[in-house]
Amino acid sequence: MSESTPEAVAPAAEKKELLIVQSKVRELIRSKEKRVSDEFIQALSAHVEHTVEKAIARCTANGRSTLRPEDI
């Protein structure tokens, strides 16, 4: 019987929809004569998601429904 292990499932689970424009990020990095890995793009998108989630929590805690720059 074949059993699913977390290691076998993890790579597919990590592929989430990007919250950034990958081509624009790559363009910026290339303009600085550097290269970028796919893992960097995924990590940057995850960082953006985490930042937005924290901003939402702060906004909610302050009794607002509109996110502001100071929530970052």
Q: What's the CA gap between 3 and 44, in Å, rounded?
A: 32
Does residue 2 surpass a pLDDT of 50? no
Q: How far apart are CA 55 and CA 64, in angstroms?
A: 11
| pLDDT for 5 beyond 50 | no
pLDDT at 16: 85
Q: Two tokens at 65?
A: 């429904």
Work out the average pLDDT over 16-26: 95
Domain ranges of the chain: 19-71
pLDDT of residue 14: 59
Burial class (CB in 10 A: 0-12, 13-18, 19+), 5: exposed
